[in-house]
Structure 1
């Protein structure tokens, strides 16, 4: 089974990184994973790490391993977490959007640890099973093939709250971090069994923009002076943008739906980026709560600590905020691992992705995979809202190849990420042999035209089923979703566009 081969080979690579696998003569380690939301992985190593003070990320980096090329398997919350928890790629679990992910009874690595004698606990943001997120989120994903262009997000803005003593801004995260620390103390006092703890954070995900109403998305970058002081504002750069007319057609659609086609001053862009980095600093402090608890009860030496994220944040790179993109700001995630047998200060260039965490945390249970090698590529795919074509990214060596839909109707992109770190130069026409090689390799991993067709059919069926539940109330409901400002400009034309999309597919 190809998927098991990927899992298995990922496992042996990561265990080799540890310098030695956990032997049967020493106690099984505790496992603690902290997964943040929307954390740009490039901030965990230079030069990105210079933008903001992240003392606990640095602590993990100095005492453990930093993976310099770690990627999400889908740049959006629920599908990426489904891949991490299941160890399977998105097209295998059919986690097509934030509404459709894993079944509630799906087996996760946490379930397997529990079956093998671990005491387990999951806290905070889980977000990997079907049925969640807003109606807007799912309807926008289902209707992405409809030929209309509607803003689905609020324009990105910043908001400063409190003063230099305002530390706990994301209250829910702090409450969960406190509970996690308390749980660690209780476990140490009550049992000799090894434990596995997962803490999911909301930060540094942008906050809901309240002024846009009850259906608004998260377009507010919010922090306090306390956290802004952790940011090296003088080092923040304004990303280069291509002219709107030069954008790839999918990028143009995405930029428009994210409400970023208007004009932004350099100061606006710098401010958004500074506030985002400040939110990352607060997330780092939450990681610190867990590390401190382990250190206080002297369990740090026998605990594997993992810090990662579901995806990144563009923070105005490529004229976008949020995720839903294969550009580095969106797809590159942090991965730092510290634990017994792991050499300090390692920087690992190997390409890895979130599906690799499944076999990694189960590593001490299995010696089967000793002769297997990790593949030299990673796969990411996206099928949700704000993007009007299924998207597939193959990262291999210096190249990032991005294919869309059926591989014919939407042109692909090719970036040399070693020479073009800003990903502004699509060289797909310059290197036709590279394109052909990578496309063949991608198709050997995933039949992406077939997957795109499957998603297209799912979107139609899911939308029709939802529409039928509303009856005569359909127009009113759909017109009040996140896109309501643009929708109301010509509601009748938009309804007709949906009707034509559905009739054409019958």
Structure 2
């Protein structure tokens, strides 16, 4: 009799217990992979002619690749703050690399943590020494170092021997394999330093890539004739602003012997670039012969080079080091993807690959980022979740780093705060494109005067047009027809044929500034 009375109760417990387990299993793990300054032009899934990236391409083959993904502010710390908060930089406080982040802001890792996820961050954060919302972290101080990097941890600072991209991956895999609570879903941020300037590939890649030659961009010798003051006055030209010692690996003693070589940075710590001097004797022995060969060629040839030849030589040196860094990123991404496959985690893990912004690889003669022009403004974005998101699909909708937080929260069945400013990309990822209504994004860059001297500007970008206002010490407008002029060589703002387009976009721009609560 007593057993009969207990049976419904036992049955209820079993049913609800099974449902609870089933629900927890459906909550996806999150692996958020981000590199620093990784241009979409240096990913073969985006059609790169510079490098093959087979492991990042795996994600594109198995997920969704966005060709119009972009940032709200193309500079490192502000971009990261936008990603973490889902808010524009004027709201979260991190308008440039100097302005302080508003620490009262809620970050999406905090929300995941409160929802029962185990959270971790390994790699480069670039602002703050105590990231919020993480059960475990090991982050690089400020920019970090490529060789034998230092890390900030909850237990204190430490230095680990090795190449930074390998070390960050080792730490990430160690956490996934041995440290995490396997009874909880995880949200892991695996954020690389590479390929941030100054570019030091791992020694074997340094040797390999120093012997390679790469195709030049069509706009390498751009004279900015059909654009305004901002493009003409920016200090990011490979010939005139990329330094020979800091960037091209010319030793101070070589420069001193030759005399008259500019630009270069004076008074390097320890006589040569500091990260190189972090290397052990054994590590320097691997780098030294390549550095010597670069210096020998430079000393013998530079005096007789024309400016065009110097530009070409500096471009090749730039690509050799930059792309050498990227090959290590791609190989290490492959290590982590392989582990997800081998462990059975891949099926229920959302993997996102992106960069904190785009980067110039010689287009318009430039390096660095900051501008609203495409190479800087657009960023790689690839997202995979087997059996849930579309596979091998390319999307050209206007999405932003503003959207990542809300997208991941919705995928994990967690309600996003109402003050987040992005939009969930889940409709695009699941093939319900008709539910995506945004057709324009807002961009705003604040860091002027500052390194590279890119003027303050804001703008609206749609698939077909881009309207930009440069302000503060200038008052200039530019308009680009993105279909007819994909390289953005000529502003058509003053062309009478585009008068109606300008008027319409200015009204839409006002609407976006009001929507996002822009006050300056």
Q: TM-score, normalised by structure 2?
A: 0.66
Name the CA shift for 1:417/1:354 in 2 (closer, same or farther; >3 Å): same
Name the CA shift for 1:275/1:417 in 2 (closer, same or farther; >3 Å): farther
Which residues of structure 2 form unaligned runs of 5+?
Answer: 1-21, 132-159, 243-262, 264-306, 417-423, 428-433
Matched residue, 2:398 = 351
1:70-469 matches, within 5 Å, as 70-129=69-128, 171-186=163-178, 190-207=181-198, 226=205, 233=213, 235-243=215-223, 248-255=228-235, 259-260=240-241, 263=307, 264-340=310-386, 341-363=388-410, 364-366=412-414, 373-384=436-447, 385=450, 386-387=452-453, 389-405=455-471, 409-430=474-495, 431-446=498-513, 453=520
SS of equivalent to 2:52: coil
Which residues of structure 1 form unaligned runs of 5+?
Answer: 1-22, 133-167, 208-219, 454-506
Name the CA shift for 1:345/1:229 in 2 (closer, same or farther; >3 Å): farther
Range moving further from structure 2, 384-393 or 51-60: 384-393
Is contact 1:70–1:335 with CA below 8 Å preserved after alignment?
yes
Name the CA shift for 1:332/1:224 in 2 (closer, same or farther; >3 Å): farther
Matched residue, 2:59 = 60
Over residues 177-213 of structure 1, what are the superposed CA-to-partner deviations in whole Å (9 max), with x where a residue is unaligned?
110011111256x422101000111111111xxxxxx
Distance 1:438 1:228 in 2: 49
Range moving further from structure 2, 192-201 or 361-370: 361-370
Name the CA shift for 1:237/1:435 in 2 (closer, same or farther; >3 Å): same
Q: Which protein has the larger Cα radius of gyration, Structure 1 or Structure 2?
A: 2
Is contact 1:34–1:307 with CA below 8 Å preserved after alignment?
yes
Over residues 394-447 of structure 1, what are the superposed CA-to-partner deviations in whole Å (9 max), with x where a residue is unaligned?
2112112221226x9421111122222211111111212212211221111116
Over residues 26-47 of structure 1, what are the superposed CA-to-partner deviations in whole Å (9 max), with x where a residue is unaligned?
5211001011100112444666
Distance 1:63 1:366 in 2: 25
Is contact 1:238–1:269 with CA below 8 Å preserved after alignment?
no
Distance 1:204 1:328 in 2: 19
State the shift of 1:234 in Å. Answer: 5.3
RMSD (Å), alpha carbons: 3.4
Over residues 39-87 of structure 1, what are the superposed CA-to-partner deviations in whole Å (9 max), with x where a residue is unaligned?
1124446663342110111110111111111011111000011111000
Over residues 271-311 of structure 1, what are the superposed CA-to-partner deviations in whole Å (9 max), with x where a residue is unaligned?
42343233222222232232122223111111000111111
Over residues 324-367 of structure 1, what are the superposed CA-to-partner deviations in whole Å (9 max), with x where a residue is unaligned?
11222211111111113122201111110101101011013258
Distance 2:45 2:105 in 1: 38
Range moving further from structure 2, 365-374 or 94-103: 365-374
Over residues 218-239 of structure 1, what are the superposed CA-to-partner deviations in whole Å (9 max), with x where a residue is unaligned?
xx56565636757984544353
State the shift of 1:96 in Å. Answer: 1.8
Name the CA shift for 1:246/1:345 in 2 (closer, same or farther; >3 Å): closer
Name the CA shift for 1:339/1:79 in 2 (closer, same or farther; >3 Å): same
Q: TM-score, normalised by structure 1?
A: 0.68
Distance 1:130 1:329 in 2: 30
State the shift of 1:244 in Å. Answer: 5.8
State the shift of 1:392 in Å. Answer: 1.2
SS of equivalent to 2:122: strand
Relative contact order: is structure 1 or structure 2 higher (C-alpha 8 Å, sep ≥ 6)? 1
Name the CA shift for 1:131/1:194 in 2 (closer, same or farther; >3 Å): closer
Is contact 1:227–1:278 with CA below 8 Å preserved after alignment?
yes
State the shift of 1:98 in Å. Answer: 0.3
Range moving further from structure 2, 263-272 or 285-294: 263-272
Over residues 127-161 of structure 1, what are the superposed CA-to-partner deviations in whole Å (9 max), with x where a residue is unaligned?
245999xxxxxxxxxxxxxxxxxxxxxxxxxxxxx
Distance 1:285 1:174 in 2: 9
Matched residue, 2:278 = none
Distance 1:289 1:256 in 2: 35
Is contact 1:120–1:197 with CA below 8 Å preserved after alignment?
yes
Is contact 2:92–2:105 with CA below 8 Å preserved after alignment?
no
Distance 2:25 2:191 in 1: 29
Distance 1:123 1:282 in 2: 17
Is contact 2:206–2:320 with CA below 8 Å preserved after alignment?
no
